[in-house]
Amino acid sequence: MQSLHATLNACRRFLFGARAERRFARQASDQLLELYRQQRRAHPEMSNRTLYQEIVAQRLGPQAVRADELVRRAEESFADWPVDQDLKFRHVVHYLAFYEYTLLDPARRGTMTNMGVVVAKVIPEDI
């Protein structure tokens, strides 16, 4: 009986945790897309990479990691592997959402869901 109770508790934690992760990814994606649109209108001449760094810097404020470092990490995680491709805003948002979510609890080593699925529903592939 004890193992059934423990299993049910684990299932509840997973379901509620996964829902919180998806909600966090959705909110972060919406907010970052709005920042993207504002910055793109204000600075149409900026390269994508510079624009992404500016958005990350605005989002994070005076955090330990620098914006250029976070954008580089996103590129390494999504654009360099498994195949080389151009860095997209969607990659940066996915990495940043994961990064911010893990900052909420330093003991958290990862997520239970693929936040990229949620990010892809909000962030257009072509920006």
Residue 15 has pLDDT above 50, yes or no: no
Nearest Cα residue to 74 out of 62, 56, 58 = 56
Q: How many CA atoms lie within 13 A of 63 on its CB side?
A: 16
Measured distance CA(56)–CA(54) in Å, rounded? 6
pTM of the model: 0.81
State residue 87 phi and psi, 5-degree precision: -70, 130
Residue 16's pLDDT is 54
Residue 81 has pLDDT above 90, yes or no: no
CA angle (96 as vertex; 92, 102 as ends), nearest 5:
155
The domain segmentation of the chain, as residue ranges, is 2-122
